[in-house]
Structure 1
Amino acid sequence: MSDDQNDVAVADGPAEVDPGTRKPRRSTGRRITLWIGIGMILAGLGLLAYVAWQLWGTNWVSKRQQREITSQLEQDWANGQGCDKFCPKGEASALIRIPKFGRDYVVPVLEGVTPDILAKGFGHFEESAGPGQIGNYALAGHRVTHGEPLRHMPDLRPGDKVIVETRKVTYTYVLDTDPNDLIVSFTNVWVVDPLPTNPKGGVQPKQVKGQRLITLTTCSEIFHTDNRMISFGHLVKSTPKTAG
């Protein structure tokens, strides 16, 4: 074989590659996979932390606020202070006790139903009647998270009491409807009307004008939902509070 043929054979053969010039494809791919895995783990931990905060953290904060508001309200009342009627939005106006939920159950009522208000206790629909007044004293409360004052609302039954304490009077209402029997969309605002009338002809208060009603509203499910669980009741007793 001639030298020229040898040159051609060498040229046509597999070229040798300098190991230093090879691209570390496998190493790069492994690094990418590693970082993707780390990112997914961090995202999962972040989601778990968010859920934990919603389920336990918000309850801890809200229940502490409820205790502080309750204590301050009782102190104000003892000193002859605090609003009685036409309370400003966001201000505490009453205390709710539901014996079915235990002897120590007491939750403040604040004027309005914005998220920050509902995080501190019950919210009072401002356009609805006040405690003991003719019309419908309509309240909203969380079923889960943010203190969850109505977590056990499905346990309530007709005949259970809802006691509303204000600066001058304590009002006792009795529930007339089972909350499990009426689930409505949050857009069904008829439930907070002065005399709620079910457009479908289902569960509703007695259709008698001049009643002094109470309405409890909360989420129908433990987790987020646009549906609301409703219970109606009526006033059975008003007890003026004596000085001291």
Structure 2
Amino acid sequence: MSDKARRRRWQSRLGWLLIVCGLGLIGYVAWQFYGTNIVSARKHREVTTSLQEQWKAGEDFAAVDEMKADALLRVPRFGKDYVVPILQGTSDDVLASGVGHFTETASVGQVGNYALAAHRVTHGEPFRDMPDLEVGDEVQIETRTRIYTYVLTSGGDALVVPFTSTWVLDPLPTNPDGGIQPAQKPGQKLITLTTCSELFHTDNRMIAFGRLESTEKK
């Protein structure tokens, strides 16, 4: 075989290899932006159903795949059918199954800061429409015995911070730059929503603050 023929053969093989790699990359991106949403939407329904069944049985939480779900999140701004389970922790598995509660922050309805995190893209996208949230919007947390209604005091995209800005999880978040923050009054019952501010990387976080407005017994 001539050198020219060998070069053509290797060029052909390299071309096919590049095509296969390109198709693999397209498939990976498609899975991240579409496949994970399908799987997570199914998981959200599964966890929600399991939790509601446990509530009927008198239990406060549901154990699903070694994760603990104890509440349901509803945000009227996101639509009347919007409901997502809240699980303890913020691991990858938790955030693929619903909304995560930072366990080092206050419990729902308690004095302090009840902080939640969720994906904005992929894995069900619970907080995809967070930029649409406005001051005065309600965030409802349902547990076995009560419904807690928080009212936002800042808009969904009004505050963006680096992912290292852990002050937003403090019992009374105080902005070191003097910008958007909850009213600086000790003893409040607050809520903080966090998600990625950009759609295609995760260096920054979008933050919304709120305060407890009412508690209703079920």
Which TM-score tier does this pair reach, normalised by the shorter chain? over 0.9
The answer to whether residue 5 in structure 2 is matched with residue 27 in structure 1 is: yes
The answer to whether residue 12 in structure 2 is matched with residue 61 in structure 1 is: no
Which ranges in structure 2 are unaligned for 5 or more consecutive residues?
none
Match of 2:94 in 1: 117
CA distance in 1, matches of 2:132, 2:158: 12
The answer to whether residue 164 in structure 2 is matched with residue 187 in structure 1 is: yes
Match of 2:21 in 1: 43
The counterpart of 2:109, out of the listed 110, 132, 152, is: 132
Runs of 4+ in 1 over 4 A off after TM superposition: none
CA distance in 2, matches of 1:235, 1:168: 17
Which ranges in structure 1 are unaligned for 5 or more consecutive residues?
1-22
Which amino acid in structure 2 is aligned with residue 197 of structure 1? T
CA distance in 2, matches of 1:27, 1:165: 71
Which amino acid in structure 1 is aligned with residue 189 of structure 2? R
> Cα offset for 1:46?
0.4
CA distance in 2, matches of 1:165, 1:76: 14
CA distance in 2, matches of 1:146, 1:201: 34
Match of 1:230 in 2: 207
Which amino acid in structure 2 is aligned with residue 129 of structure 1? A
Which amino acid in structure 2 is aligned with residue 180 of structure 1? D
CA distance in 1, matches of 2:131, 2:145: 31
TM alignment of 1:65-214, pairs within 5 A: 65-83=43-61, 90-214=67-191
CA distance in 1, matches of 2:26, 2:61: 42
Match of 1:218 in 2: 195
Which amino acid in structure 2 is aligned with residue 48 of structure 1? I
> Cα offset for 1:223?
1.2
Which amino acid in structure 2 is aligned with residue 42 of structure 1? V
What SS does the corresponding residue of 1:39 show, helix, strand or coil?
Answer: helix
CA contact (8 A) 2:60 2:143 kept: no
Aligned length: 215
TM-score normalised according to structure 1 size: 0.86
CA contact (8 A) 2:54 2:61 kept: no
> Cα offset for 1:179?
2.3
Query: How big is each residue's C-alpha offset from its partner over 1:200-219, in whole Å with a ceiling of 9 and x where there is no partner?
Result: 10000000011000000000
What SS does the corresponding residue of 1:59 show, helix, strand or coil?
Answer: helix
CA distance in 2, matches of 1:90, 1:200: 36
> Cα offset for 1:226?
1.1
CA RMSD across the alignment:
1.1
CA distance in 2, matches of 1:225, 1:168: 36
CA distance in 2, matches of 1:119, 1:128: 20
TM-score normalised according to structure 2 size: 0.96
What SS does the corresponding residue of 2:149 show, helix, strand or coil?
Answer: strand
Structure showing greater radius of gyration is 1
**Identical-pair percentage:** 56
Which amino acid in structure 1 is aligned with residue 186 of structure 2? K
CA contact (8 A) 2:152 2:208 kept: yes
CA distance in 1, matches of 2:21, 2:122: 22
CA distance in 1, matches of 2:169, 2:70: 18
